[in-house]
């Protein structure tokens, strides 16, 4: 299974974090230049993407701790 894919899902998680970080950097740079509308928009998108990534991360960790999808050897 390629890295960044959830168990049993085809949704990559790593690109989502990458985009959250990109929008956060854009928000900081735009804020430094005084483009408050652009900064607010980029910061809002970064917050949403970060929260989605955080929820997916917590779900995967909980599933791993519960042993869901564990492979048993015979």
Note whether residue 33 is domain-resident.
yes
Note whether residue 39 is domain-resident.
yes
What the block records as the tokens of 21 is 């970080």
Q: What's the number of CA atoms in the CB half-sphere (13 Å) around residue 32? A: 5
- State pTM to two decimals: 0.51
- Which residue shows structure tokens 């950097």? 25
pLDDT of 1 > 50? The answer is no
22/70 Cα distance (integer angstroms):
34
Note whether residue 49 is domain-resident.
yes
Note whether residue 41 is domain-resident.
yes
The per-residue pLDDT for range 5-62, each reduced to its tens digit, is: 445 555 566 787 888 888 888 888 877 877 777 778 888 888 888 899 899 888 888 8
**Total of domains in the chain:** 1
Note whether residue 38 is domain-resident.
yes
7/2 Cα distance (integer angstroms):
10
What pLDDT was estimated at residue 5? Answer: 47
Q: What's the number of CA atoms in the CB half-sphere (13 Å) around residue 42? A: 17
């Amino acid at each position: 299974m390629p890295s960044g894919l959830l168990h049993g899902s085809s949704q990559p998680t790593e690109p989502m974090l990458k985009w959250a970080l990109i929008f956060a950097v854009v928000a900081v740079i735009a804020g430094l230049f005084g483009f408050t509308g652009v900064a607010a928009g980029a910061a809002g998108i970064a917050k949403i993407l970060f929260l989605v990534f955080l929820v997916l991360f917590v779900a995967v960790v909980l599933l791993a701790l519960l042993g869901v999808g564990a492979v048993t050897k015979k």
